[in-house]
Amino acid sequence: MKLLYPQHWNDYELIDSGGYEKLERFGKYILRRPEPQAVWNKSLSETEWTALAHATFRREKGKQNNDGNDRGEWLLKPSMPQQWFIHYRYKQMKLCFRLGLTSFKHVGIFPEQSENWDFIYDTITGMNVEETPKVLNLFAYTGGASLAAKAAGADVTHVDAVRQVIAWSRENMEQSGLKDIRWVVEDALKFVGREVRRGKKYHGIILDPPAYGRGPEGEKWVLEEHIAGLMQSCSQLLYSSGNFLVLNLYAMGFSALVADNLIKSYFPYVKETAFGELCVSEPSGRSLPLSVFCRF
C-alpha cells in the first residue's frame, strides 16, 4: 500500500490541521474549514489561525452530513474575494482552476488529486494505440482529471449529475487553453449502462464516486449499494489492453483494500495495481489522509 503526496503544487499548501479543521493556502488566500479526520491537536495557536485565515467556514448547526458536504456559510475578511484562480503545472500540462466559496465548504478542487492527474497524463502520453485514446470521467466534478486527460491528447467524456458543476468545468477547460471535452449531465449508472448497450469502448476510465449523491432526476446513489454494479459496467466498457483505470473513494471508513478488491474482482486480467491513500503533508511533519485510491 502506498501513501502518495502532491509533488508539483505552487498554488496550494496545507499550513496546519487539527481540532477537526484544516488551514490551507489556495494561491494567495488562506482558508479555514472543517476536516473530520483531523482529530489531533493543532500545531499553531487559535490566535495564529484567526490571523492567517482570509475565510472561515462555519457549519450550520445540525447540518453535518455523512457525505462530507456540510452546509454552512463563509465568514470573509474584507480582502477575500468570492472567486479567484489558481494554476497547476506538471511537465507540459498547464491547468487553471477557478475557485469559489460554496455553501458545502468545498472550493472547486481537491488538491491531493493532482497525484492522479499526473498518473493520467503520463499514462495517456505513453500509450501506444492506433487511435486517439478515449477517456471516460465519471462523477467528474469540476474536471481536474478531465483536463489532465485532455492535456495529454485524449478524447474525453466528462459525466456529472450537476449542470452548474459542468458549467464550472467548462470554464476551467477554457481557462486552461483546452477545448472539445464532451460534457454529459446525467446519472453515472444510467450513462454507463447505455454505453454498454451501445457497445462503446474506452481506453481509460476515471471514477470518483461520492458516498451519497443524487442524479439530475433525483436518482439516489449510495456507494455501498451501487459501486459493484458500476464497476461491472465499467469492466465492459474498458478495452482489455492498452488501458488504465483510476478509482478514488472519499467514503470515511473505507480501506484502500476495498478499492483494490473491487478492481481485482471486475478486472481479473490486471496483474498489478497500485493502491493506497492520497495525503497532504504540513510543515509540522504530520500527514492528513484525504482519500483512498486504486489504479492500474
Grid cell digits, residue 269: 486480467
pLDDT of residue 67: 47
Characterize the bridge pairing of strands 212-214 and 220-222.
antiparallel
- Of 166, 179, 114, 118, which Cα lies nearest the Cα of 140? 166
pLDDT of residue 68: 52
Q: What is d(CA 50, CA 38) in angstroms, rounded to the nearest whole number?
A: 18
Phi, psi of 184 (to 5 degrees): -130, 120
Domains of the chain with CATH codes: 7-84 (2.60.40.1180), 109-295 (3.40.50.150)
Q: What is d(CA 186, CA 148) in angstroms, rounded to the nearest whole number?
A: 22
Q: What is d(CA 183, CA 174) in angstroms, rounded to the nearest whole number?
A: 13
pLDDT in tens, the chain (296 residues): 999 999 999 999 999 999 999 999 999 999 999 999 999 999 999 999 999 999 999 998 765 554 456 889 999 999 999 999 999 999 999 999 999 999 999 999 999 999 999 999 999 999 999 999 999 999 999 999 999 999 999 999 999 999 999 999 999 999 999 999 999 999 999 999 999 999 999 999 999 999 988 888 888 999 999 999 999 999 999 999 999 999 999 877 889 999 999 999 999 999 999 999 999 999 999 999 999 999 99
Grid cell digits, residue 105: 465548504
Residue 35 half-sphere exposure toward CB, CA atoms < 13 A: 27
pLDDT of residue 253: 80
Can you give the pTM of this predicted structure? 0.94
pLDDT of residue 60: 86
